[in-house]
Structure 1
Amino acid sequence: MLPVGYTWLIERYRLKVRPLVHQSFIGPKMLRREHSDGTVEEHYSRQYQPGESALEHLVFALKYDGVDLDIFHKVFQHITPSEIAEFVAQTPSGRFARQIGCWYEKLTSQKVPLTVRVMGNYEPLLDSEAYVTARNPARNPRWRILDNTIGSRRFLPLIRKTPAIRKAEETDWRMMISQALGTPSRDSLYRALSYLYFKETKSSFAIEREEAGAARTDKFVAALHRAGFEENPLTESVLTLLQNIIVDERYRESGFRISQNYVGQTTINLREIIHSLGVPPSSLPSLMEGLAEFFRASEDFPPVLRAATISFAFVFVHPFEDGNGRIHRYLIHDVLARSQIGGNGLLLPVSAEILQHMHLYDLCLEKFSKPLVAAADYSLDEAGVLSVQNPGEIEGFYRYPDLTPQCEFLAQMLERTIQVAIPEELRFLQKLDQARRAVTEIVDMPDRKRDQLLKRLHNNRGTLARSRRETEFPELTDTEISDIERAYREIFAD
């Protein structure tokens, strides 16, 4: 079999890139293999064989392999603007030649010295049936292209329209939330919202295997209440302020990091296993500027996909030494709050759902980090300082990511949060109200004492431990306690 398209380009230029979604080969017969991870290997007969130039293989890739901007950017480094001009001159009205010319100028900022007048109908830069695109594309008269991308050469993510992504686009999230909420009383809804903010905070810290003290919890809850109010949450000043709120005061930072960071694990023999790398510091400022630009340009993006794109891109870049994971999950709420998919004040406790599915979360992160670490040439000294020797080769992983898996994951977690977690919380509060009334009918005790008793019953499966009975509720008779326990268990039977 002969490699063709992206497989040929990767071999030709020895490119270090993420695994291909679609691999193409020239073989004796037509063949298509679809794998369980969504990737495809396809064989084409010899009549599909392009020429021997990189640009001809790029055309093949655009036709059959899809768009991989990291490969585009790396290949363009081996092609001059004049070579692009000569290629376009052969077919000045050709769609793929014009798309390649447009991509070249967009990704390299070099102007192609055209020698012919480009003709033909306006064509989209991305296939809107295959990718999530801008609703109002910009006309590029130079190439007669409708630029329907969102982003710039600093940061330009792609999201493929898989069945799960199409479902996320088509879902009426507001209706789903409305149906999940039902018609709770104003008081029940207020208490549910208060608890959801607290639950989200505790879960976000728990994902990092941290226990938040009361002060840090209160600060993070306050930050969640302000989600969506900053003009742009991706600026260095806003993110630094947020980082200072959520981390231990000893690890507060004054801005984005200026050294290389990584996420690792120390083994029993003190060897460090690298799980992920933050973007090399030389690329960090421009990449964060690109992410802030994407935020401004993506207002008409589907809100769930926008939240996933921004939040996961942030955590992959890892602009701080500490707090990146919690800020990543905060950004989910910030973006969703702006879209008001749940109305004013409703927070979806997605971190609590992630905490229940950590294996899926880890797989989601590894989809990005494993190929990245494999492509990086790095060294680690005895002090734990990591140095990346090939920052230019891995830069495209961050600038031109395929965030399809991450968007699919967040949509799945949000759907479970809305359809399972929130209704369960409302049902619990309704039963808690019943239990309060039942306790009051048995013993008319102070509210704080009653709620303390219910908390003890909840934590011990409906039974009050003897030690608690003697030290905290000595005034209650055995009959009263027995009646309260029975009432509690009946209410929370299911």
Structure 2
Amino acid sequence: MTPVGYTFLNKYYNLLLPKLSVEVYQDASFDSEKIVKYGASKRLVLPKSRKNLSTPYDNMVAAIKHQGIRLHFFAVIFKVVDENELTAFIASKPMAQHTRVIWYLYEWLTGNTLNLPALNSGNYVQLFDPKYYFTLSDGVRDKRTRVINNAIGTRDFCPTIRKTPEILTLAKTDVYKTAYEEVQKLGKSISADIIGRSVNYLYTKETRSSTEIENERPDKKRMQRFLNAIKNAGLFELSKDKLIDIQNQIVADSVRASDYRECEIYVGSTIQKYSIVDEDVHYVGAKAEHIESLMDGLFKTHDNLMLDGEVPSLIHASIVSFAEVYIHPFDDGNGRIHRYLIHDVMKQREPDHKFIIPISAAILKNTERYDEVLETISKPIMAMLDWELDAENGNRMVINNDIEFMYRFPDYTEHVKFVYEMMNSAISSDLIEEICLLLVFDVIKTSINRAADVPNMKLDTLVSIIISGGGAVSNKKRGLFLKYLSEEGLAEVEKDSMKIISEVKDKFKIDIQELVNKSEKA
């Protein structure tokens, strides 16, 4: 088999880039194009009838045709390509669509102008095919190459989202409409008050869950600041100053930032065996010298998507939030900012929705899946990065090579899929569970009030005790109730409580008693 496209280019230029999920080869023994398994990956094998591609420039065209535009490949190829040969190749077929795309990509990504005359005729072609990628609806026309740059990002930061069949199906989902429809299934008893109270609780749950993902136990002051940040998401323009402000709200005073970090950073854990202490490094953030341009590119990408308005809001939110956590612009707080940004972007795009969907709570239940998605970017980066920890300087991270193109041009297709999955999980469980819990709470509260006059400060405690007991009150705690209720009144309350708890469990498959017990343990 002979390598074709990016597979050829990777070997020809000795790029040592991780292979793609589908590599392309040509085999003279094949009569037709086929996909074959190759271990855990796949190969697209072209038949003998196809043109034999021997030059890197023909393979650039083949790469775009068969594997789409992979910006990180072109970014590193253009650093080592022979500019004179590339110019001659483009000059030989200046009007061909893929030749013009390569021409435009070179000048866009490098900032250099090839020694070629501008085109003065011919139809414009789109840089990214909207059939296969999410793009801007209009884009910017380049008169010189007659290419429309419809990329969602910029030269500083440009993610891609491929339109796989699964992503196209998910993109049709309106998560807030889905949430509303799920709430309506609970029946006419859902009042505006119950929805309002459930939303307030979910803000708190989102705050706590996002913190637990980081294995942190912040003090009440920081938890309250994070809660306020989430409640006010979407009210301000997304900018460097606003991001620093959010970081200051959610971290300890000692690690508040006044600017982006100036040193290299890594995510890892300390391993101690006997007297030896070592660091298990899971991920290394972008080099500090590139953070300013990467974040500027991210903010411009956000602006592009806001102004265009055609890329679904949850895809937009996925891009912004995951970009922040991979760039890792601060010394502390990046993970919580990452999850905050999902809500911030969604609020900016859809300010009228009534629900906060507790995605962090869903992620907390699916941390292995979360790690798998993060590793689609982190593993290739870590495989390519040459780093070391300077033990003499407090294990300071030192990066010996520069692979900034891996941070600038990511593919977030899997990340979008994950965010939709977590949103749907949060809607079907956390949101509905909380509203059902409030329904049960209100029924039991009404039953107690009907039997006796109980002070409000005691009432919630009594209701929680009944729910924790599945509707029954143990002999040990019975005295708490008999201060206010008769035995007959308490028996009636227990009867009402068991009935509503059982109804919710049978109708909605939600165990209210289990929910309360888990919440109390947390």
Task: Determine the structure 1 residue equivalent to 2:11.
Answer: 11
Partner Cα distance (2:37, 2:290) in 1: 36
In 2, Cα distance between equivalents of 1:320 and 1:449: 45
Shift of 1:402: 0.3
1:325 alignment partner in structure 2: 335
Change (3 A) 1:475 1:188: closer
Q: Answer whether contact 1:3 1:26 (CA < 8 A) is retained.
A: yes
Matched, 1:285 2:299: no
Task: Choose from 195, 201, 205 the match for 1:195.
Answer: 201
**Correspondence for 1:132:** 134
1:252 aligns with 2:262: no
- Note the C-alpha offset of 1:442: 2.8
Q: Write the deviation string for residues 373-408 of structure 1: whole angstroms up to 9, x where unpaired.
A: 1111111132221111112xx211110000001011
Aligned runs of 1:16-95 on 2, under 5 Å? 16-27=16-27, 28-29=29-30, 30-33=33-36, 40-95=42-97
Q: Is 1:274 paired with 2:278?
A: no
How many Å apart are 1:222 and its aligned residue?
A: 1.0
| TM-aligned CA deviation for residue 176 of structure 1 | 1.9
Distance across 2 between alignment mates of 1:40 and 1:309: 27
Assess, with a 3 A threshold, how the Cα gap between structure 1 residues 16 and 489 changes in structure 2: closer, same or farther: farther
**2: CA distance, partners of 1:302 / 1:195:** 27
Deviations 1:211-251 (Å, cap 9, x if unpaired)? Answer: 2432222211211121111122xx32211111111112122
Partner of 2:313: 303
1:376 is aligned to 2:385: yes
Query: For the residues of structure 1 that align with 2:481 and 2:269, how far apart are their CA atoms?
Result: 44
> Residue in 2 aligned with 1:409?
418
| Cross-structure match for 2:400 | 389
SS at match of 2:129: coil
Match among 203, 207, 210 for residue 204 of structure 1: 210
Aligned counterpart, 2:232: 226
* Structure 2 alignment gaps of length 5 or more: 506-522
CA RMSD of aligned residues (A): 2.3
Instruction: Tell me if structure 2 keeps the 8 A contact 1:378–1:389.
Output: yes
Q: Distance in 2 between matches of 1:49 and 1:379?
A: 46
* Kept in 2: contact 1:50–1:57 (CA 8 A): no
Cα deviation for residue 458 of structure 1 reads: 3.5
Which one-letter code corresponds to 2:438 in the other structure?
L
In the alignment, which residue of structure 2 is the partner of 1:243?
A: 247
Deviation digits for residues 80-128 of structure 1, max 9, x if unmatched? 5443331111112101100000111111111122147465322111111
Q: Normalising by structure 2, report the TM-score.
A: 0.88
**Contact 1:50–1:60 (CA under 8 A) maintained in structure 2:** no
Structure 1: tracts of 5 or more residues without a match: none
Tell which has more relative contact order, 1 or 2 (C-alpha 8 A, sep 6+): 1
Structure 2 counterpart of 1:387, one-letter code: V
Change (3 A) 1:136 1:173: farther
The count of aligned residue pairs is 488
Provide the C-alpha distance between the structure 2 equivalents of 1:359 and 1:414, rounded to a whole number of angstroms: 16
Q: TM-score, normalising length from structure 1?
A: 0.92
Q: In structure 1, how many angstroms separate the alpha carbons of the residues matched to 2:3 and 2:99?
A: 21
Query: Greater CA deviation, 380-389 or 192-201?
Result: 380-389
Is the Cα contact below 8 Å between 1:151 and 1:290 reproduced in 2?
yes
Equivalent residue for 1:347?
356
Distance in structure 2 (CA, Å) of the matches to 1:266 and 1:251: 20
Deviates more, 1:449-458 or 1:70-79: 449-458
Checking the alignment, whether the CA contact within 8 Å between 2:7 and 2:24 is kept in structure 1 is: yes
Aligned partners of 2:119 and 2:145 also within 8 Å:
no
Out of 425, 428, 439, the residue aligned to residue 437 of structure 2 is 428
> Do the aligned residues in 1 keep the contact of 2:133 with 2:160 (CA within 8 Å)?
yes
Q: Tell me which residue corresponds to 1:167.
A: 169
**Aligned equivalents of 1:490 and 1:448: distance in 2?**
25
Distance, in Å, in 2 between the alignment partners of 1:246 and 1:33 is 49
CA distance in 2, matches of 1:35, 1:203: 40
- Letter matched to residue 295 of structure 2: M
For residues 166 and 40 of structure 1, the distance between their equivalents in structure 2, rounded to whole angstroms, comes to 22
- Residue 344 of structure 1 and its aligned partner are, at CA, apart by 4.4
Separation in 2 of the partners of 1:416 and 1:429?
A: 20
The CA distance in 2 between the partners of 1:248 and 1:480, in whole Å, is 50
How far is 1:164 from its partner? 2.3
Shift in Å, 1:202: 1.0
Paired residue type of 1:133 = T
1:452 and 2:456 correspond: no
User: Could you tell me how far apart the structure 2 residues matched to 1:246 and 1:121 are?
Assistant: 51
1:311–1:331 contact (8 Å) kept in structure 2? yes
Deviation per CA, 1:31-75, whole angstroms, max 9, x where unpaired?
3136898x6411112343544322111111011122110000111
Picking from 150, 153, 156, the partner of 1:151 is 153
Offset at residue 454 of structure 1 (A): 1.5
1:25/1:42 contact within 8 Å kept: yes
Deviation per CA, 1:259-311, whole angstroms, max 9, x where unpaired?
01111122342332211111011111111111111111111221010000000
Alignment partners' CA distance in 1, 2:253 and 2:483: 43
